Amino acid sequence: MIELHQMVLFSSGVLVGLALIPVLSRIFDPESVQRFFERLGRGALVPFLLPGRLWRREPSEEQPGTAAPGERPDLREHRINGSLQAIRCILMALAEAMQHIDEAASTSSLTLSQARDALNRTGLPDDVKQTAALLVAQIDRVIAGNNTLRAELARSREVLQTQQQVIDSLRTEVRVDKMTQFANRAHFDERLDDLLRSNRRADDGFFLLLVDVDNFKAINDNYGHPAGDRILKGVAFKLKNALRESDFVARFGGDEFAIILVKANRHAATGIAWKLCQEIRDSRFLLDGNDIQVTVSIGAAEALPGDTSDTLIKRADGALYDVKESGRNGVRIAE
């Protein structure tokens, strides 16, 4: 079912279009008006044209430690991104239309000023001077109206720029996991898809690591979810400090993290994975005055030609499953 905010967004695009039709039709040729509204329509319809999977029923809110391996995330971030993209398209279309209107008003004023000056310089017969004076007065009113319109357009452009900054800020916020300050699952999915497309065009190999905090459910059960959240933040801090600047890390869901090691071969990926494992194992985590040893299991897979995000994640998840079945606190590289 289409949600209220999507319908409001679509309706606002329609209303803006209806309001602009009379103005645009007087200034532009029919083809220019049609191109403008095609762009405006595409922006307003973005949320309705996103892949079908974005409109499935949302899963229930996941609790820390309960996410199943490879589980798809809550897709609200995707829908928010779609809505922000739609609003951004509408703002860009309006900004372009306002620019054209401003240019048309400026050209109109210049042409009218030249016509007025020509009338004033021309020696007219007495019987047409009164008519010419009325025409000059009308020209002055039109020029004044154009100047007012241009001033209003300048103010409107400032408003649009402010709104664009707000949109960009919101788009950044919905791509970040609030607890760990890592990229969230929606951002990870975008990044992985981009890298897989690049991987098909060039020989830029990369590895995907899935990192799972061992026995996290027991930590939640024994110390409570706030304590579990502190452990996740601590693990995230350790991961960030141990990784390269070029690596991409995201919260994959629950107690799981996803790491993309760019331009890494099997030897380098194995070394980094074991380094992360040891870094977490050797760290000191304090809960309620007690030292808690935390370990992680890591499954890794290399991006191969023809891989999709699903196939790559499935191989890394299979390697992670093997590690956990064999006792946890280790690394497995998918064949």
Burial of 49 (C-beta count, 10 Å sphere; 0-12/13-18/19+): exposed
- Annotation marks residue 310 as catalytic: no
Question: What contacts 32, CB < 8 A, 6 or more positions away?
Answer: 24, 100
DSSP 8-state code for residue 64? T
Beta strand 285-287 pairing with 256-262: unpaired
Select which of 247, 255, 307, 317 is catalytic: 255
H/E segment holding residue 187: helix 185-201
Task: Check if the beta carbon of residue 332 is closer than 8 Å to that of residue 208.
Answer: no
Question: Which of 19, 155, 13 is closest to 85 using CA atoms?
Answer: 13
Q: How far is CA 290 from CA 223, 230, 237, 302, in A?
A: 11, 14, 20, 39
Q: What tokens does 210 get?
A: 């899935």
Residues forming the active site: 255
